[in-house]
Amino acid sequence: MSWPALLALGAGHGINPAMGWLFAVALGLQRQSRGAVWGALTPLAIGHALAIAAAIAAAGVVGLMVPPDSLRWATAGLLIGFGIFRLARSRHPRFGGMRVNARELATWSFLMASAHGAGLMVLPLVLDDMATGTPAHQMAQASVVGGVHAQWSGILAALVHAAGYLLVTALIAVIVYERVGLRFLRTAWV
């Protein structure tokens, strides 16, 4: 598994304002507190990591029944199809509000990461690791060591990705809150 690639994908998600740093800044400005910015980061990271873990777990379950090459092609097709769908229909939902608690923020982060295909982006890297592990029928006959390795590998992949996401999200959110401010966001936002 390419750990630097997982970290870089997480960092890429952290750059995207739709993945949470803008929400953290908004909460900080709303409450007039840098602590609110920092407080928003944990639920954002938890929601993002859970979305990645859910995609990896789903791929792991499907991988028990589908050959790895077929799963890899299906994932590639889903990722390309999802990208085309998002290009064709780029509107964002207009529901909800900005007054949220930590649970609601984590749920929002999970939904946004899932809706933006974060889990699908990570799957090609994780599938390579799953494919090199022990096939399911051999695990059933021999031992569960390969399955345990795949589980821990998937969990670690979600955590490494979330670490890259959290680092960049925190950096951007704090810089925008402390230095850039609302005036710049109002005039420069596309």
Question: Residues 81-106: what's their mean pLDDT?
Answer: 75
Output the pLDDT for position 156: 87
Q: What pLDDT, in 10s, does the model give residues 16-28? A: 888 889 889 989 9
Average pLDDT, the chain: 80
pLDDT of 146 over the 70 cut = no
Q: What is the pLDDT of residue 63?
A: 74
Global model pTM greater than 0.75: no
Q: Is 96 left (phi over 0), alpha (psi -120 to 50) or beta?
A: left
pLDDT at 148: 52
* Percent of all residues in the chain with a pLDDT value above 90, rounded to a whole number: 24
- What local confidence, expressed as pLDDT, does residue 114 receive? 85
Mean pLDDT, range 137-160, rounded to an integer: 62
Output 95 or 84, whichever has higher pLDDT.
Answer: 84
Per-residue pLDDT, 125: 78
DSSP string, 109-124: HHHHHHHTTHHHHHHH
DSSP type of residue 2? -
Can you give the three-state secondary structure of 117-163, one letter per residue? CHHHHHHHHHHHHHHHCCCHHHHHHCCCHHHHHHHHHHHHHHHHHHH
Report residue 129's pLDDT band, with 50, 70 and 90 as the boundaries: low
Say yes or no to pLDDT of 161 above 60.
Answer: yes
Residue 143 pLDDT class (50, 70, 90 cuts):
very low
